[in-house]
Amino acid sequence: MKNLDLKKVNIALKDKSPEEIIIWALSLASAPVVTTNFRPYEVAILYACSKIKNDLKVIWCDTGYNTPQTYKHANELIEKLGLNVHLYVPKQTSAHRDAIMGIPQIEDPLHQIFTEQVKMEPFNRAMDEHKPDVWFTNLRSGQTAFRNSIDIVSISKDGVLKVSPFYHWSDEQLDNYLKLYQLPNEFTYFDPTKVLENRECGLHS
């Protein structure tokens, strides 16, 4: 993977459909995964990937702080798409953590510990167990400053090929995609580690 010329690859893939990009990436993969948190528009990447490889491992790192609407949406998609979900949760319950520290603000020194507990540790545990060589995500340009700096294909800090098939798509394009395939969406979503919408979540930086 590290020998790929990312600049050439991204130029070649820029005008390809998400499905074509997924097929290309899968041709290089021996242990592919897709990660999700069931936030808005996640259904697009889950549908596109599962349509091409229906047994693709879906890594869901649940912080324990999702909204009731998100949990219902997740259950609906898991059933509708027949997702091969591997669930990872923090080692401490949200009720226990709420009693000790709650949800710290960004400027609070405890926020880093909180983020490590509810997001980074479960994610790292998942990646250690599954050892993927290709990692599908629904990152898109315009979401955060960091995401603007990558492209359809990039290499993670751990050397995994990270593929974002919808990278250049707008919300309007995704709305049309979801309408075309009659896919549900859910906007009542909460990430306790981000606080601000344009702040990076920690997994991708």
Instruction: In whole angstroms, give the CA distance from residue 80 to residue 65.
Output: 23
Check residue 141 and give its pLDDT: 86
Query: How many domains is the chain built from?
Result: 1
| Within a domain: 203 | no
Check residue 81 and give its pLDDT: 98
| Within a domain: 188 | no
| Within a domain: 191 | no
Instruction: In whole angstroms, give the CA distance from residue 61 to residue 160.
Output: 18
Check residue 197 and give its pLDDT: 54
Could you count the other beta carbons within 10 Å of the beta carbon of residue 89? Answer: 15
Check residue 199 and give its pLDDT: 47
- Measured CA to CA in angstroms, residue 173 lies from 20, 147, 167, 179 at distances of 17, 18, 11, 10
Check residue 186 and give its pLDDT: 97
The residue among 38, 1, 43 whose CA lies nearest residue 18 is 43
| Within a domain: 174 | yes
Report the CATH number at residue 166: 3.40.50.620
CA 72 to chain centre: 18
| Within a domain: 146 | yes
Mean pLDDT by 10 residues, the chain (205 residues): 86 96 98 97 98 98 96 98 98 95 92 95 97 96 67 92 96 97 96 66 52
| Within a domain: 201 | no
HSE (side-chain half, CA atoms, 13 Å) at 189 = 18
The residue among 91, 74, 37 whose CA lies nearest residue 203 is 37
| Within a domain: 192 | no
| Within a domain: 185 | no
Q: pTM here?
A: 0.90
The parent domain of residue 31 ranges over 6-180
